[in-house]
Structure 1
Amino acid sequence: MVFKIAGWIISFEQGYKHDHFGDDFVGIALDRWFKERNIDYLWAVGTDYPRGSLQPVIVLVRRRREDPKSTVSHYYRVRELDADREVKKQVMEETGLSDEDLPWVTVADPFFMS
């Protein structure tokens, strides 16, 4: 069993491109930014992706769950749904990011608990 999240990844550089974030952790600042714009997503999570790559990214999480059929090394991917693409469209309009800038990913064990 493994906890997994699904959403779009952005780099820390993309997350910090807005000067008004100040000294806040980028996840907190992004959560506030999304809330101010009434964009429906769960939360921003910092992790490395792919796992073990030491490539820090931010996942703009749309879904999360414990998956009893998955492990860290073998897990089922979560598909991006039409509702997710509608939210992504809002994000792209507000940020100027393109579809290619926001790839959809599934991350197993994003907090390295297993």
Structure 2
Amino acid sequence: MVFKIAGWALSFQQVRTWLEKQGQKHQHLGDEFLATDLNYWFDERNIDYLWAVCTDYPRGSLQPVIVLVRRRREDPKSTVSHYYRVRELDGDREIKKQLLEESGLADEDLPWITVADPFFQC
């Protein structure tokens, strides 16, 4: 059993560009605090359908990304090394359209990914 998240992967620079476009002050923040700042921003706007998580992707690559999580759950049929990917659904794509408008990013800039054990607990 493993905890999994699924959503869109963004680089720290993409997050900074998005926050800047929204008028959110972020220049004083280190990269490690961007996900926390995004989550505060989501709370302020009553956005309960996104959760920002910083993790490595692919796992063990030491390439940190911020995942805008749309779905999360414990998966009893998966492990860290063997897991089922979560598909992007139509509802996810509707949210993505809104994100693209707000951020100014292109569709191909937001890949949909599944991450098993994003907090490295296993």
Identity of aligned residues (%): 74
- Closer/same/farther in 2, CA of residues 55 and 48 from structure 1, 3 Å limit: same
TM-score normalised by length of structure 2: 0.85
> RMSD across aligned C-alpha pairs, in angstroms?
1.7
Q: How far apart, CA to CA, are the structure 1 residues paired with 2:48 and 2:99?
A: 10
- Closer/same/farther in 2, CA of residues 101 and 36 from structure 1, 3 Å limit: farther
Match of 2:39 in 1: 31
Match of 1:6 in 2: 6
Structure 1 gap segments, 5+ residues each: none
Residue type of the partner of 1:110?
P
Q: How far apart, CA to CA, are the structure 1 residues paired with 2:119 and 2:46?
A: 27
2:37 pairs with 1:63: no
- Closer/same/farther in 2, CA of residues 79 and 69 from structure 1, 3 Å limit: same
TM-score normalised by length of structure 1: 0.90
Residue type of the partner of 1:63?
R
In the alignment, which of 20, 23, 35 is matched to residue 25 of structure 2?
20
- Closer/same/farther in 2, CA of residues 82 and 63 from structure 1, 3 Å limit: same
Deviates more, 1:69-78 or 1:36-45: 36-45
Q: Is the 8 A contact 1:31 1:44 kept in 2?
A: yes
2:52 pairs with 1:44: yes
Q: How far apart, CA to CA, are the structure 2 residues paired with 1:44 and 1:87?
A: 14
Q: How far apart, CA to CA, are the structure 2 residues paired with 1:47 and 1:64?
A: 14
Structure 2 gap segments, 5+ residues each: none
Structure 1 position 37, deviation (Å): 5.0
* Pairs aligned (count): 114
1:40-84 deviation digits (Å, cap 9, x = unpaired) = 533100000000111010000000000000000000000001000
